[in-house]
């Protein structure tokens, strides 16, 4: 997500004018605190779930981050993100894991 739009710069904690995954999760955490419901989080999840199988694969995460956030993670960085978010270690991010993961990333 290009951070120049919609006042998103305050969520761009590393100053690169792009929201990476942890910064996007920080934004979602704020939205949730301000009354964003699970439906809004589900919409974000569904955009990332390209094949519609109700789970996000490592490849879908990589594709979404490159397409929407202009961030190209290495395999090691993707593995690290998956370890942080994939609580049941099945190799995929479920919606519940996605919704719970917003609490793992705090804004600076």
CA angle 71, 77, 78 (to 5 degrees): 80
Q: Which of 90, 89, 66 is nearest to 77 (CA)?
A: 66
Q: How crowded is the C-beta side of 4, counted as CA atoms within 13 Å? A: 4
Helix, strand, coil share (%) of the chain residues, nearest 5: 55, 5, 40
Instruction: Please report the pLDDT score of residue 77 as a whole number.
Output: 85
In tens digits, what is the pLDDT along the chain, a chain of 108 residues?
444 445 666 777 888 877 777 777 777 777 666 555 677 778 778 888 999 999 999 999 888 878 776 778 889 988 988 898 899 999 999 999 988 886 554 333
């Amino acid at each position: 997500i290009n951070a120049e739009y919609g006042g998103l710069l305050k969520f761009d904690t590393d100053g690169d004018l792009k929201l990476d995954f942890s910064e996007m999760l920080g934004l979602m955490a704020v939205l949730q605190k301000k009354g964003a419901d699970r439906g809004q989080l589900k919409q974000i999840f569904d955009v990332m779930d390209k094949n519609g199988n109700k789970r996000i694969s490592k490849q879908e995460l990589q594709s979404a981050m490159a397409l929407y956030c202009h961030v190209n993670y290495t395999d090691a960085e993707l593995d690290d993100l998956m370890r942080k978010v994939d609580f049941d270690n099945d190799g995929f991010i479920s919606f519940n894991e996605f919704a719970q993961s917003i609490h793992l990333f705090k804004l600076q």
